[in-house]
Amino acid sequence: MKKQARLILENGVVFTGTAFGASDRLRTGGEVVFTTSITGYQEILTDPSYAGQIVTMTNPLIGNYGANNDDLESIKPFVSGFIIRELAEEYSNWRSTQSISKFLEENNILAIEGIDTRKLVRILRTEGALRGIVSTEDISNSKLLEATRKIPVMTGLDLTKGVTTPKPYEMAAKDNKAPHVVVIDYGIKQNILHKLHDHGARLTVMPSTVTFDEIQDRNPDGVFLSNGPGDPDAVKDGIETVKQLVTSEKYPVFGICLGNQLLSLAFGGETYKLKFGHRGANHPVKNLRTGKIEITSQNHGFCVKWDTMPDSCELTYLNLNDNTVEGFRHKELPIFAVQYHPEASPGPHESDYLFGEFMKMM
């Protein structure tokens, strides 16, 4: 027998559906967001940038190709919960090893299906991302609403320490003369590491709390700043380290997503919270240097406020949905960043050239 579940938002709206995944859990809470990706639900579930969030899939049918051991972006899912319209009970793919429901159950993630996700997304687009709770408890909506409104808001939260590597580790390159990249892990996806490695880099992955002196001790040829969850302005250790990196003028630096935001803060810029964020694998971005349009993969809730950035930096990419900042570079130093995820697993792959640019800089 399937167990009834409810989703309650901080504005008081209640959705009723069916629990799956870790359906024995009584409740889970977080910021409710949505992604427009049609495929790649396993990569979404295991993307550490979703820490503290309950993810809604806009694509109505989820689970039809099951789950496998190859498409993990981290060691486990970091989402707080999962919301879909319809669960595919039967799955089929030559690589699949289990159902998505079993995968979520094994990782203790409570999910809900059978709700009107179109209505939910319209609410989130109109009112912005909202705190919410998915619950299987037999208690009143008023009590659940009270609990929902006690969940911390995303603004002001540094979530990087909960998703970073606990200690440094290395990924050797086939070529002994390969450029050495120190990767600061704020919640990095595995396929970003694979892309850097495939482009010929030797990697040393270090925790989010790494200091500038510790980076210098590794004697890198360049530094990569990863994606990650939470409010960039709250990542004080990261901002200070990146500030020392750019003022030292010693290393080429490439930042993506949260790394892009931390770079902007290090240059004296400001960030702000987007109304409902950019999440999906189909966001159009204009390359202002070439005039070309790239379809990009994105997952972020904060953005750079360009009019606060110094004249030494040049705006290089623009989001065509809302004209927000999608990337910049320093006019003189070998430092650049993009807001989207250029590794784009499971796709698209139009921005792969950025890893090549970073290698050339080194």
* From 10, 43, 113, 343, active-site residue: 343
Residues 25 and 113 in one domain: yes
CA distance 356 to 362: 10
pLDDT value of residue 89: 87
Specify whether the CB–CB gap between 17 and 112 falls below 8 A.
Answer: yes
Polymer length of the chain: 362
CA distance 101 to 97: 12
Residues 139 and 209 in one domain: no
Residues 176 and 297 in one domain: yes
Q: Is residue 200 part of a domain?
A: yes
Give the CA count within 13 Å in the CB-facing half-sphere of 153.
7
**For the chain, how many structural domains are there in total?**
2
DSSP state string for 100-148: HHHHHHHTT-EEEESS-HHHHHHHHHHH-SEEEEEE--SS-HHHHHHHH
Residues 181 and 139 in one domain: no
Q: Is residue 155 part of a domain?
A: no
- CATH number, position 344: 3.40.50.880
Summarize the chain as % helix, strand, coil (round to 5). Answer: 25, 30, 45
Q: What are phi and psi of 214, to 5 degrees?
A: -65, -35
Crossing angle of helices 190-198 and 353-361, rounded to 10°? 60
* From 257, 278, 294, 303, active-site residue: 257
* From 197, 199, 283, 341, active-site residue: 341
pLDDT value of residue 102: 97
Which structural domain, as residue segments, surrounds residue 90?
Answer: 4-148
Residues 166 and 308 in one domain: yes
What contacts 88, CB < 8 A, 6 or more positions away? Answer: 61, 62, 63, 64, 100
Q: Output the six-digit token pair for 103.
A: 């995968």
Q: Is 257 a catalytic residue?
A: yes
Q: Is residue 344 part of a domain?
A: yes
Q: Output the six-digit token pair for 27.
A: 């409740």
Residues 121 and 182 in one domain: no
DSSP state string for 188-247: --HHHHHHHHHTT-EEEEE-TT--HHHHHHT--SEEEE----S-GGG-HHHHHHHHHHHH
pLDDT value of residue 175: 84
Q: Output the six-digit token pair for 260.
A: 């892009």
Domain boundary among 148, 174, 206: 148
Residues 219 and 142 in one domain: no
SS3 162: helix
Q: Is 341 a catalytic residue?
A: yes
Residues 173 and 282 in one domain: yes
Residues 187 and 127 in one domain: no
Q: How many C-beta atoms lie closer than 10 Å to residue 353's C-beta?
A: 11
Residues 225 and 278 in one domain: yes
Specify whether the CB–CB gap between 241 and 168 falls below 8 A.
Answer: no
SS3 260: helix
CA distances for 18 relative to 2, 64, 77, 131, angstroms? 7, 18, 20, 20
CA distance 135 to 18: 10
Q: Is residue 41 part of a domain?
A: yes
CA distance 267 to 265: 5
Residues 19 and 93 in one domain: yes
Q: What is the pLDDT along the chain (362 residues), one digit of tens a residue?
A: 789 999 999 999 999 999 999 999 999 999 999 999 999 999 999 999 999 999 999 999 999 999 998 899 999 999 999 999 999 989 999 999 999 999 999 999 999 999 999 999 999 999 999 999 999 999 999 999 999 999 999 999 999 999 999 999 999 988 888 999 999 999 999 999 999 999 999 999 999 999 999 999 999 999 999 999 999 999 999 999 999 999 999 999 999 999 999 999 999 999 999 999 999 999 999 999 999 999 999 999 999 999 999 999 999 999 999 999 999 999 999 999 999 999 877 777 888 899 999 999 99
pLDDT value of residue 126: 98
Q: Is 343 a catalytic residue?
A: yes
Q: Is residue 154 part of a domain?
A: no
Residues 190 and 239 in one domain: yes
Q: Is residue 248 part of a domain?
A: yes
Q: What are phi and psi of 104, to 5 degrees?
A: -70, -40
Expressed in angstroms, the distance from the first to the final Cα of the chain is 58
- CATH number, position 140: 3.50.30.20
- Among 92, 91, 93, smallest CA distance to 101 is for 91
